[in-house]
Structures are given as C-alpha cells and as structure tokens.
Chains A and B, each alone.
Chain A
Amino acid sequence: MGKSLYQKVWESHAVRTLPNGQTQLFIDTHLIHEVTSPQAFGMLRDLGLKVRFPERTFATVDHIVPTHSLAEPFADPQADEMIRQLRKNVQEFGITFFDVTSGQQGIVHVIGPENGITQPGMTIACGDSHTSTHGAFGAIAFGIGTTQVRDVLATQTMAVSKLKVRRINVNGKLRPGVYAKDVILHIIKVLGVNGGIGYAYEYGGSVFDNFSMEERMTVCNMSIEGGARIGYVNPDQTTFDYLKGRPYAPKGEAWEQAVARWKALASDPDAHYDDIVNIRAEDIAPTVTWGINPGQGCAITDRVPDPALYPEAERAGLEEALKHMKLRPGQPIKGVKVDVAFLGSCTNGRISDFREAARYLKGRKVAPGVRAIAVPGSQQVARQCEEEGIAQIFREAGFEWRGAGCSMCLAMNPDKLVGDELCASSSNRNFKGRQGSATGRTVLMSPVMVVAAAVTGQVSDAREVFGVSELVGV
C-alpha cells in the first residue's frame, strides 16, 4: 500500500523517538509574530539558549498593527511595546523580519506563500492556529503554543504525536456563486467543529484540482475550525506555477530538482487513509454562519434552527447561540441587518479575493449606516490593489481602505465592533467576543457575500443582488 504525503513528510523529518514515545520532528520553516513569540524568547533567555538555526525562522507583525497609520509610536502603548519587543528579539537572534517598513509586511499566512517561503514537503510551524493555510502547497503546517515556539527556536524540532489522515474528496462542479469559503464552511458543517481532532485533512478531488493556490489556501486555512490542526492539498502544476520566480523559491537547476522532489512527495494513488469522506460539489450552497462557532452555518436560503425541533441534548447550545446572535428560532438568515462589513484576514485577504469582490462592487455603494472596511492581507496585496484600480473601486463605493494586518478578524488593533454590532465578515471565527466587543456578532461568509451585505445592509444572497447570470462561469 502506498503512502500519503503526510506519511512521507513525517518519515523524512523524524529525528528520533523521545522517551515518552512522541517523535522529535524537524521543522523546516518557523514563522513567528508579535503575539505568541515574546514569551518564547523570554523562556529562551531564562534557559540561556540560542536560536539554533536562525535562518529557518521568519518574523512579521500582523495582529496588533494599526491599519490607519503606521506612524510610531503606535497610539496603543501595549501594541507599541509588542512591536519593539519583536524588533529587539529578531535583532538579538539574527532572524529575518518583514517589518512594517519592509514593504513586505502582512499577515503571516499571506506573506509566507507570496514570498515563496512556503514550499511543498516542508514542515512549517507557527504560534498561530491558522498555520494550516500553508498546507495548500503540500506542506505539513500546523499551529503551536508558545512553549513549542521556544522548542523550535532552541532546537528547530518539537515533540509531536502522529495524526491519522482523512481524505476529503470534493468532486463535481461548484454551482455559480459558490466559492472556496463556502466549500470549507460546508465541510465544517458536515464534519463538525471537532470532527477533525486527531486528524490531518488531505483535500482532493476535481474541485481542488481546479482550484487556484489562493482558493486552496482559503480551505486549508479553516481546517482548524473543523478541529484539524493540519489540512493540505497535494502539490501539482498549479502549485509549481504559483511558486516559480518568487523570492525564496529555488532558482535555475535547483528549481528543476525541487519540482522533481515535490512531485514524488504527493500521495501515492494507493495511499492508505484512516478515513475517506466524499462531498458532492453540487450540494454546496453559498454558506453563512448563524451562530457562535464556524460549524453553525447554513445555506443563505435556509432558516436558522429552531431548538424545539432538536434533541434535548443539543437545545441549550443552540439557544445560547441564537440568544447571542439575537436571532429568532427558525427565522431566515437572509435579511438580517448588518452594521459592519469586513473584508480581509488570512482566510480571504489575498489579491484574488479583492479582485473578485471588486468585480461586483464596481459602480455600487455601501448601504447607508453600514461601516465597511477592506483590509489587504499584506503590503504586497495592498500595492497590487492600488495598481489594478481595485482600491479605488472600494473607496468609491464607500469602503474604508486600510493598511495590511489582521485588523477586525480578532480586533487586537483599534478596529473593533462596538456593542452588539453585527458584522458580515470574510474572516474565520465567529466566536463570542471575537471581533472586539463581548456582545458583538459575526456572520462568516465569502468575500463576494460580504460585498453583497455591504451594499444591501443585510445578510444577502449575492446571486440575487448581483444577478445569477453575472456569476456564471465563476
């Protein structure tokens, strides 16, 4: 029986077996940001240790950066302290840093791929649960805690236990107006928010074969929302075409050798999987969340659940979610009033997301009373949007066009919901309080659906707002 990519990468990166039975796994590429790394550097200093392979760690600043102005010191003294700490740490230990002045700063999961740092067959770790994003390239990439950030800094390895692998096939043809975001929201709805615990997800099937790299990233990004710490797609020509010529990608002869190696890493046709799930592309609708975790989603044409119709054991959870969201049992999700529209994040803050959203936004206006914010995932995406006239389309429509960062995805910078505002958001988490207000409400959706919500002031079906025919061929 053949091997999966996960199995192959695991075998080549296992350094040794640890006394407790876990594997000491080598981490090829370590990404760090300002929130989960300062304590790790502190621990390193306390132990008198150095960064073992500083050329294998790359830093950026994303969570706390203001998106209005990068003038320093930042208005928030805590945020200012965090960026200064990071600068001190990278300088002291000789780590490459994509600082705000570099022109390459951005969300860690956007800049890794766009610089070609993320490559097939690599093990990649970062103190951030959405590290699964990098799996789109056929890397084995996962989020780690701060103590493990210390372990990777000190040894370029960490103690891990092997996961099972679940192959998720999505075959068929996506219906018009259905995007990668809908695919992953659908998968999470089907398998549950904890369905992936103990698994790495391998995504495949014709839908993934046809997806661009950025679409694959959107799906892999939200693997963790389904409980899976790792999600990946096997590398193919789409992967190689994306990487070719990027700053950190191999060049010349080394490129040819790398491609040959990457091809051999893809899962064998007869690979062993611990579980296989098949999903029909045609069953996936434009999907939005109605609740307080990413599995609480429904088709835009659906009604939110009525707890009375559910088994006793599930009712309390459903009621809690509806109460927080201020939704009536059984009401249609379409038409719910929207206060804020947020387009950005490591899920949907890439150039293709802004291009697609701009196609429909062009010539339209944000509805009165809606605060609409567009936040590119990186400075590079921001530049591209300016060059292609996309930023201008957003500004003319009444969006606030901001600088690169995480922004209102988790509201560690000044971009926050106020009170119980409801936000139509292209991000990945709708947890209570996630967007900066304890009573704030988040409805997750694709970028085009965010634009539809922004222009109508309601949770809307983009296919109706923009006309289905316009969306044919997407």
Chain B
Amino acid sequence: MALEPIQQVRGRAVHVPGNDIDTDRITPARYLKVVTFDGLGEALFYDERFNPDGSEKPHPLNDPRFKGASIMLVGANFGCGSSREHSPQAIYRAGFRALIGESFAEIFFGNSTALSMPCVTASKSDIEALAQAIEQDPGLEVTVDVERLEVRYADKAFKVNLPATAQKALVEGRWDPIADLLEAGDLLEQASARLPKAVLS
C-alpha cells in the first residue's frame, strides 16, 4: 500500500489556547452516535464554538481571519480523555494537517499519526511567539518540517520533537501500519498458538 509520505506540512495556522483540552471538548459525545466518520468536521469544538441556539461564541476557529488554517497550535496535554478517534478525525476533516503543542495525550497522538497528521511538540515560549506572529499576520505561512524537526515562519525557526518511530512512519509513508502488520503472516498463527486465550469452559 503506497501511502503519501509526510515530509512537510505547510499552511496557515490558528492558535487554540488552553491546557488539558479533552476529547469531550474536541468532539462532544453526542457526535459519536455515528457509524462512519463522515461529516465529523462539523462537530469540531462544537460546544466551545456555538451556543445552544446555534449562534456563534467567540472562538479562534470562528474567527474569519483564521478560516482555512491547516496547522493548529495548542497547549499541554491536548487530546486527553477518551480514546475516540472521532477527535483527530474531526480535526483532520475540518482541514487540519498538523498540530504543534506543548504535549499530547498518548492515545490521541497515536490516532493522529495513523491519520498522517503529525503532532509535534515544542516549548511554550516558541509556541507563544508563533501564536503572536499569526495574531499579527493571520496569512503567515507556517511550515512544519517533519524531516528536519523544525517549524519555520517568516524569518524564524524553532526545533520541535516527535518520537523517532512516528517521524519515520510519516516521512516514509508508513503511517498506516496495516500493511506492515499483515506482513507478519504465519508469525501471527504461531503467536496465537502459544499465547493465552479466554475460552468458555
């Protein structure tokens, strides 16, 4: 299965501030009553963005200056809470292709990587400086360089982190592991034969 290698993500960015933003905020549970991921982009941050009557609340994603952004800047422990892949799916389907944050919850990170959406980490001060730059110039082009592990904008650049396994998976176009897993072939039957199994008895 040939997958698109993700070496760089380039685009405009938007800053969604705050720490510990959980998956219930990213995609409220009522949007989980679906049997496909289609249309989930609409659900993104719904209760943070809209009042119960459907009118808009002030939120960076409602700000017309940041419409069309493909890179999201976030705080610490982003995506904590449930394992719902609906959250990264909603972010991806709303047009985002990379996240830059202080830290990410583990399951969210893995789910995002498997969707080809890098979640790179950076220092709070670097993220804040970038947030200020896009506040001043919302049209600013930002590059998340997954190969060189840096973020570039205007005449500035800062280092970011990404576990080597995720970096390799993205850069080599192996972010969806299914092909690699299937290659194990008979090793799977051998493992199943020797490992414990719950059997009704």
Contact = CB atoms under 8 A, between A and B. Distances in A.
A64 interface: yes
Contacts of B67: none
Contact of B172 (A19, A24, A131, A148): A19
14 contacts: A16-B187, A19-B168, A21-B168, A26-B188, A35-B32, A79-B33, A121-B196, A154-B181, A156-B188, A158-B181, A194-B105, A410-B24, A429-B24, A431-B81
A119 B196 CA distance: 9
Interface string A425-451: 000010111101010000000000000
Interface size grouping (class) on chain B = 35 or more
Interface string A10-35: 00110110111110101011000001
A251 interface: yes
A112 B177 CA distance: 28
A198 interface: yes
Interface in B59-101: 76-77, 80-86, 88
Interface string B103-118: 1011100110011000
B201 to A, nearest CB: 5
* Chief secondary structure at chain A's binding surface: loop
B198 A76 contact: no
The 6 closest A-B pairs by CB, nearest first: A145-B111, A143-B83, A438-B47, A145-B85, A78-B33, A38-B35
B191 A85 contact: no
Contacts of A22: 165, 169, 177
B105 to A, nearest CB: 7
B25 A431 contact: yes
Contacts of A145: 83-85, 88, 107, 110-111, 114
Interface residues of A, number: 87
B191 A13 contact: yes
A155 B24 contact: no
A36 B83 contact: yes
A131 B106 CA distance: 14
Interface of B: 18-20, 22, 24-25, 28-30, 32-37, 47, 52, 76-77, 80-86, 88, 103, 105-107, 110-111, 114-115, 163-166, 168-169, 172, 174, 176-178, 180-182, 184, 187-188, 191-192, 195-201
Given A15-B187, A197-B105, A227-B106, A150 B198 contact: no
B200 A127 contact: no
* Chief secondary structure at chain B's binding surface: loop
A20 B196 contact: no
A22 B77 CA distance: 23
A159 B182 contact: no
A13 B195 CA distance: 8
Interface stretch (A49-57, A279-287, A329-337, A383-391): A49-57
Interface in A62-114: 63-64, 76, 78-79, 81-82, 85
Contacts of B180: 18-20, 24, 159
A24 B82 contact: no
Contact of B25 (A21, A58, A316, A432): A432
Given A82-B35, A143-B82, 9 more contacts: A18-B177, A18-B180, A21-B164, A38-B34, A79-B33, A155-B182, A198-B106, A410-B82, A436-B29
A157 B34 contact: no
A320 interface: yes
A161 B163 CA distance: 10
A28 B195 contact: yes
A350 to B, nearest CB: 19
Given A38-B35, A432-B25, A293 B181 contact: no
Given A39-B36, A143-B83, A438-B52, A122 B22 contact: no
B42 to A, nearest CB: 15
Contact of A193 (B77, B169, B200): B77
Given A38-B36, A227-B105, A229-B107, A431 B22 contact: yes
A156 B191 CA distance: 10
A129 interface: yes
A21 B197 CA distance: 27
A56 B107 contact: no
A46 B14 CA distance: 34
Contact of A194 (B77, B165, B176): B77
B115 A147 contact: yes
Contacts of B47: 432-433, 438
A438 to B, nearest CB: 4
